[in-house]
Amino acid sequence: MKSGFTLTETALSLAVTGLLLAIALPSLTALKQGAAVEQAAQNIVAAHRRARAAAILTGKPAILSVAARSLRITLVGADRPHWADSGPLDQGVSLAGAPHDITFSPIGISIGLANASLQLSQGNAVRTVVISRLGRARIVRSP
């Protein structure tokens, strides 16, 4: 007697595997999108903290420019950026609205800006970075 699988058993196992993949793939896609949006939001918060620290440490106002393609910190009076990184669009995450410039005074408080909200999204995953006038940034996760 030969051991092995019949054609019917193999076809059945492939059908079950295909069904499980069809159920699991949308969840995996949503998980991947959520992770990409979360990472982009964390990058903006990190740039915000870095700009605030740069203003305090150098004693000069620092401008954080948040755009879809770039995050950039420039010290007032400098001819080139103090720090630069890629924006959320490089991760496939869209940033709603126009680019934002946030200026930090040498004491770490943002100048000329009340509360700002930066909305990031990819697919159904949405995060909002809320920046307060006092120099705090937080991430709000939408359900």
Q: What is the pLDDT of residues 61-83, one digit of tens each?
A: 999 999 999 999 999 999 999 99
3-state class percentages of the chain: helix first, strand second, coil last, to nearest 5: 40, 30, 30
Q: Predicted confidence band at 133 (pLDDT cuts at 50, 70, 90)?
A: confident
In terms of residue numbers, what domain contains 84?
35-141
| Of 12-16, 99-103, 126-130, minimum mean pLDDT range | 12-16
Domain-embedded: residue 68: yes
| Residue 31 burial (C-beta neighbours within 10 Å; 0-12, 13-18, 19+) | exposed
Domain-embedded: residue 96: yes
pTM equals: 0.82
Domain-embedded: residue 1: no
Cβ contacts of residue 131 below 8 Å, gap of 6+? 48, 102, 110, 113, 115, 116, 117, 118, 137
Domain-embedded: residue 60: yes
Residue bearing tokens 């490089």: 90
Q: 39-66, pLDDT tens digit by residue? A: 999 999 999 999 999 999 999 999 999 9
Whichever domain contains 112, its CATH number is 3.55.40.10
Half-sphere exposure of residue 82, counting CA atoms within 13 Å on the CB side? 21
Domain-embedded: residue 8: no
Distance CA 105, CA 113 (A): 12
Distance CA 9, CA 26 (A): 27
Domain-embedded: residue 4: no
Closest CA to 96 of 66, 71, 61, 136: 66
Domain-embedded: residue 29: no
- pLDDT number for residue 29: 84
Residue 93: enclosing H or E segment and its boundaries? none
How many structural domains are present in the chain? 1
- Local structure of 71: helix, strand or coil: strand
Domain-embedded: residue 55: yes
Q: 1-14, pLDDT tens digit by residue? A: 677 888 888 888 88
- Look at residue 24 and tell me whether its pLDDT is greater than 70: no
